[in-house]
Amino acid sequence: MSELMTMLSYGFIVRALVTGVLVSICAALLGVTLVLRSNAMISDGLSHVSFGAFAIAVVLGLTPLYVAIPVAMIASIFILRLNDGRLHGDSAVAIISSSALAIGVVAISVGNGVNVDMNAYLFGSILSITKGDMVVSIITCLIVLALYILSYNKIFALTFDKDFASSTGVHTQFYETILAALASLVIVLGMRMMGALLISSLTIFPTITARYLVKSYKGVMITSAVVSVICFVIGLVLSYFYSLPTGAMIVIINLIALLLAIAYAKVFRKQ
């Protein structure tokens, strides 16, 4: 217990804990919509876009967070538009993500005299989380929760049948744009801690795990949020005590939770 209190005495741990828990909740809720609509890889594409924006901002001496957020939002809307055109699904995501990652790497390589830790951007670093990140994560979480509470039925309809939702009067394009913008914001915030290569796990793992445990849509949403928070906290604590990469540990804990959920589902289905 004393060791946990010592851990919480560090400011960067508190910032990481608050930001991480809120981002985990948001990522899990948004992940349910993305995964059930077969758009899970959009989060991976947005993380690569965020990496490119972060890299360019660092090279130009700008504040990375304020550059990455609008760029990622624009990219998310652009991906939606590509999906409505001749490019569909993973093709649009692959084009955007690979291009953004390449631009980021080139920007860093040509930024002479700029000291950039590539590992921190690719795999995350809890030391990089600022008070500003924490404040933005609080505001974002409140917006996401308000959206899902006030527009639950509309999001439910949009998730399972876009045409049906549109026929019932739901402004599907508006809600798609809002959800994509919020997803990009959550990805940017989470990337500081998880890195560009691991952040998409926060939107995918909890939802899939929840689907093995419960059947209802509301149950999946609540369970995925709970699983996401628990896995994050366990991963953060283990990474602190054993000096392991935080992002990687969170992903591993999520993987263990998924495997346990699969085993649980198989045992009970056999009964």
pLDDT digits (tens, 9 = 90+) for 214-246: 989 999 999 999 999 999 999 999 988 888 888
Give residue for tokens 């409140």.
Answer: 142
pLDDT digits (tens, 9 = 90+) for 152-191: 999 999 888 888 888 888 888 888 889 888 988 898 888 8
**Selected residue with higher pLDDT from 232 and 46:** 232
Report pTM.
0.87
Mean pLDDT of all residues in 70-81: 82
For residue 236 the two structure tokens come to: 């953060």
Q: How far is CA 239 from CA 65, 125, 216, in A?
A: 25, 11, 34
What is d(CA 195, CA 245) in angstroms, rounded to the nearest whole number?
11
Q: Which of the four pLDDT bands, split at 50, 70 and 90, describes residue 1?
A: low
For 252, how many CA atoms within 13 A lie in the half-sphere containing its CB?
11
Structural domains in the chain, sorted by start: 2-264 (1.10.3470.10)
For residue 84 the two structure tokens come to: 């409505």
For 7, how many CA atoms within 13 A lie in the half-sphere containing its CB?
15
Helices (H) and strands (E) in the chain, counts: 13, 0
